[in-house]
Amino acid sequence: MKVFPEDLLYSCEHIWVKVEGDLATIGVTDYGQERLGEILSVEFSEIDSYLERDETFGSLESTKAVVDLITPVSGTIVSINEIISDDVSIINNDPHDTGWLIVIAMDDLQQLDDLLDAAGYLDFVTQEEEIE
């Protein structure tokens, strides 16, 4: 059975969000990275870039595909995880902790209401697997 950290919120694009005040740390879920396979490279928008919700903030290239990274909240990028630029395997090995991607200063906290909690995300991925 899959388990997802309870302190995170999730999008249907397999992105997790950890909220601390008006800051949202964003990464790829364990389920998402598992489906992609080995991550080969990552690209991000620049610090101080403003992103609208559902806008692309970068991409991941893996052994299976190149996928766009979609932000689940609007705001300005205030930090990028530079460590994974040098070692992208961190995303595969520790996606919910040291494998975070960016931090956004959110400008609309109500957008968080549209994200899934851990139980909701588990239901979503279970349904997704049944369709395949």
In a domain, 125, yes or no: no
In a domain, 55, yes or no: yes
> What is the number of structural domains in the chain?
1
Helix (H) or strand (E) holding 44: strand 39-44
Q: What is the pLDDT of residues 94-120, one digit of tens each?
A: 999 999 999 999 999 999 999 999 999
Q: What is the pLDDT of residues 14-57, one digit of tens each?
A: 999 999 999 999 999 999 999 999 999 999 999 999 999 999 99
Enclosing domain of residue 90: 9-108
Q: For residue 53, what are the contacts with CB-CB under 8 A and spacing of at least 6?
A: 71, 72, 73, 74, 108, 111
In a domain, 91, yes or no: yes
pTM score of the predicted model: 0.94
Q: Which residue has the tokens 């609007």?
A: 74
Residue 83, phi-psi category: left (phi > 0), alpha (psi -120 to 50), beta (remainder)? alpha
In a domain, 118, yes or no: no
- What's the chain's Rg over C-alpha atoms? 14
- Domain CATH code at residue 37: 2.40.50.100
